Structures are given as structure tokens and as C-alpha cells.
Amino acid sequence: MKPNFPHRFRNEGLYEQALTHRSAARLNNERLEFLGDSLVNMLVAEMLYETHPRADEGVLTRLRAQLVRGSTLAEIARELDLGDALVLGSGELKSGGFRRDSILADALEALIAATYLDAGWQACRDVVRTLYASRIATLGVSEKDPKTRLQEFLQANGLPLPQYELVASTGEDHAKLFDVECVVADPALRLPGHGTSRRAAEQMAAEAALNEIKGILRA
């Protein structure tokens, strides 16, 4: 059964490759997934830039991370019934690979890349905008930034406050990139963040740490 994907492919070979997991064939969707990951990040960033004109870089980075993470991509893939169309090796079939978030997310990104190769930039842009329209429209922007929310969450649970360590800064002065880590003592975690400013990188790391800690405490 074909998924409800919003693009009709002229090149059926690209379509089939996008849905083929590496466990099933040498010609699989890994390279397409690599390209699709960048396309999704760029096009979701464009949508957020348009729809949140007052949001700063830190907020936009956090929102994009929320929208392009594997669990969100897998949710979209399920809405499209992508799992039923995947081509998997026997081992992945037996272990339920068609339900796994990582496999579904990779296949969706591969289909987006295949759309770009099949019909060009505008077709790819239209597909991503269609897939994300409802999520962008209902996306709430928290007044508190991730560092503040992480601090308040840790305090409320009697846990020590985080530290932020600069790991690296690269590039020319006008185009620097910063890598930081949010270090939490309990539970013991080191979560990375990246950004074009140290503040933006710290906010991304704090968001990742908050999500990780909430998941640990729920388990």
C-alpha cells in the first residue's frame, strides 16, 4: 500500500529507494536520508522565521529542534502510513522495524530528499510545508527560555543546578559556531548544544537536558 505522501513521483526508482532500509538492499535510503535531514532543517527554519517574526535565535532554534527531532518525524510518518510501505530485511520485519521511530523518521527524510531530486526545490518546499503546516500553526512559544525552564524544573525536584561548558568555537569572527555542553550532576548527564552564539548553543543544550531528565523521571 502506498503512503499518503503529498508528492507523486515521476521517478519510481527514487521513491522505492527512499522506502528501502539498509537491512533489505545495498541500494537503500541512507544517502537520501542524509540529504533529507538538511532539507527538513532548512525548510522548517524558513517556516518558523516567517511565522514567528518576534522570536529570537534561541527560541527559533528550540522550536526547530522540537519539530525536526526523530519522534516528531516518526509521528508524521505514521500519519502518512509510511510503515506499511517500508521495505525491510527479514530481521527488521521480525523485530517490528516498521514501527520503530528511527526507521520511520529516516524514511520520511529520505522521501523528502527524493522529492527534491525528482521534481526540484519548489516541489520539496511544498511537501515540507504541507507536512508541517498544522504543527507550525499550533506551536506555542513559551515565554520562558529553556535555561530558565530547566533551572526551575531542577529546583522544583530538589536537584542540583546545571553548568554550561564551552567545548569549542570555530569559524571567523563574523560567522562563529559554538559547541557547548549542559552538565547535570543528578541525573548525571552531558547534553550538547550548537549555535551561532554561545547563548543559543546553551539554550539548545538546556532544552535537550530538560527533555532527557523528564524522560528519566517518568521512567
* Catalytic residue IDs: 37, 109
- Cβ neighbourhood burial of 172 (10 Å; 0-12, 13-18, 19+): exposed
Task: Give the residue numbers of the binding site.
Answer: 33, 106, 109
Which residue type occupies 93? L
* Main-chain phi, psi angles of 167, to 5 degrees: -90, -45
Coil/strand/helix, residue 212 = helix
Measuring CA to CA, how many Å separate 52 from each of 55, 118, 128, 178, 214? 5, 31, 18, 24, 27
Nearest CA-CA partner of 44 in 105, 127, 132, 111: 132
Annotated binding-site ranges for Mg(2+): 33, 106, 109
Question: How many Å apart are CA 15 and CA 2, to the nearest integer?
Answer: 10
- DSSP code of residue 87: B
- Nearest-CA neighbor of 64 among 44, 35, 89? 44
Q: Does the N-terminal peptide bond of residue 187 adopt cis geometry, omega within 30 degrees of 0?
A: yes
